[in-house]
């Protein structure tokens, strides 16, 4: 199993509309990206200087599924452009569990 985690800093983390749209967009991959076994989205409440605003955690069956997820048309054409237009930075980690 592979865990794929991405942390996002939003351009405007005070805009509740963008936060809601971001959550909806990330969660919309369920059922559209068949490699996803589990998907979780969380919003930071601490708002410290080192905090990121949103976390995406995805469980995938194997490394090949991670590659397919990253190349999935819905993920690549609809989710990534939305995220890139609303974030100032992101970090990711992928690991085996």
51-91 residue pLDDT tens: 999 999 999 999 999 999 999 999 999 999 999 999 999 99
| Mean pLDDT in residue range 40-52 | 95
Report the pLDDT value the prediction gives residue 6, as an integer from 0 to 100.
98
Output the CATH code of domain 2-96: 3.30.70.100
| Rounded Cα distance, 96 and 78, in Å | 27
Report the pLDDT value the prediction gives residue 56, as an integer from 0 to 100.
98
Report the pLDDT value the prediction gives residue 26, as an integer from 0 to 100.
98
Contact 44, 10 (CB under 8 A): no
Please name the helix (run of DSSP H) or strand (run of DSSP E) that holds residue 93, with its range, or none. Answer: strand 87-96
Phi, psi at 36, each rounded to 5°: -75, 120
């Amino acid at each position: 199993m592979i865990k794929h985690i991405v942390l996002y800093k939003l351009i405007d983390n005070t805009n509740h509309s963008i936060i809601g749209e971001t959550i909806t967009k990330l969660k919309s991959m369920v059922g559209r990206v068949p490699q996803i076994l589990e998907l979780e989205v969380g919003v930071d409440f601490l708002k410290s200087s080192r905090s990121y605003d949103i976390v995406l955690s995805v469980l995938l069956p194997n490394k090949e599924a991670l590659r397919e997820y990253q190349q999935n048309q819905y993920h690549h054409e609809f989710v990534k452009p939305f995220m890139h237009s609303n974030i100032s930075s992101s970090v990711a980690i992928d690991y085996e569990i």
